[in-house]
Amino acid sequence: MKIAIVCYPTFGGSGVVATELGIALANRGHEVHFVTYRQPVRLGLLNNNIHFHEVHVPEYPLFHYQPYELALSSKLVDTIRLYNIELLHVHYAIPHAYAGYMAKKMLEEQGIYIPMITTLHGTDITLVGKHPFYKPAVTFSINQSDVVTAVSGSLRQRTLEIFDIDGDIEVIPNFIDGKKYSTSFTDCQRTNMACDDERIITHVSNFRKVKRIPDVLKIFYKIQKEIPTKLIMVGEGPEKEGAERLCEELGISEKVIFLGNSNEIDKILCFSDLFLLPSESESFGLAALEAMINRVPVISSNVGGIPEVNIQGITGFLSDVGNIDEMAKNALAILGNDEILEKFKRNAVREAQKFDILNILPLYEDVYERAYKSRLKNA
């Protein structure tokens, strides 16, 4: 099939899922065309099956806001026509489903019918999308999509609660490519990061408020008082500066390493003993899943889709948002004993394997098949 994928090309989870999905589809023989404003960060070399089309938004000083949706929908119309694209898959309702709908309508005027699949990822619903300024447009674009998927049962439920949705929403969870990890390195170069007697704790995110970065540091503060530990903070975002200041205030700067954005998350997770994800809301928690497949247990909040990934008492522990004391206590229970830590590590990887792309890709292909049939009906 010839599929156009629209996503955010940045380090955010939705962009990662869209990119990895596109790569997997291309490996299965589909022709995949990414349409976005920059080449997605996880997209490596382009080939016969993977194409990238950049959306340019010409700057015009008269406009206070440059019209990205307009440029995106025009680029979609051109790309779909030029490459005879058969399906459009947009990740993130805002503004991609909206722009996708406009492209679909413009193409219909030219006698071309293109089915649109919209995948909801979380903040497009739970944070931004439900704002009264956006809600009517988000409701409309979801209802106009031929198939709608959400990345967890929890996100599906929240979407149905918040918006007036006409049709069904299918759940297709986030995934990881287990093959990548089964052949991964054995030398984690742990000694570059910590001494032999130190445990390594990791947090990976885009440092937005929703990730509760101060909680990460306060949990770590309590842990390091009890056992020798280092904290690795991976990512960039608005909360980073405040985090560096808080480390100084807490007197833990020497034990916290800020690494910035990284394309080598797996290498970092390879030498990690525990992952912290105390988010305010999280539709799935791809970062937790990536930790788990690398044998890293997770201490997280008990919100959104996280309980569908991090299993209480098995792969880690979940607590109410902001319950720093309990999160630190649970972390110490795992880190304080070699045998317990090993058991949690084994469990983490076993549970993560359930989300292997080999299990998830057929679910997307099934959705594509059904959407494609609707195309034939409408042709």
Number of residues forming the site for ligand GMT (CB under 6 A): 19
Q: Report angle CA 171, 176, 180 to the nearest 5 degrees.
A: 160
Outline where DSSP puts E strands in 84-128: 87-91, 116-120
Q: Which is nearer to ligand GMT, 285 or 297 (CB)?
A: 285
Interface residue with ligand GMT, options 281, 294, 310, 330 (CB under 6 A): 281
Binding part of the chain for ligand GMT, among 69-77, 188-196, 205-213, 269-277 by CB under 6 A, reads 205-213
Q: In what order do the strands lie in the sheet with 199-204?
A: 256-260, 229-234, 199-204, 274-277, 298-301, 316-319
Nearer to ligand GMT, 159 or 281 (CB): 281
Q: Is residue 205 close enough to count as binding ligand GMT by CB under 6 A?
A: yes
CA gap 204, 241 in Å, rounded? 15
CB nearer to ligand GMT: pick between 114 and 360: 360
With respect to ligand GMT, which residue has the nearer C-beta, 206 or 301? 206
Interface pick for ligand GMT out of 151, 252, 270, 348 (rule CB under 6 A): 151
Stretch touching ligand GMT by CB under 6 A, among 36-44, 107-115, 156-164, 281-289: 281-289
Instruction: Name residue 206's beta-bridge partners.
Output: none
Alpha-carbon span 108 to 104, nearest angstrom: 6
Specify whether the CB–CB gap between 287 and 178 falls below 8 A: no
Say if residues 69 and 99 touch (Cβ distance below 8 Å).
yes
β-bridge pairing 316-319 and 298-301 = parallel
Site string for ligand GMT, 93-132 (x = CB under 6 A): ----------------------------xxx---------
Of 203 and 345, the one with the shorter C-beta distance to ligand GMT is 203
Interface contacts to ligand GMT, rule CB under 6 A: 12-15, 17, 121-123, 151, 174, 205-206, 210, 281-286
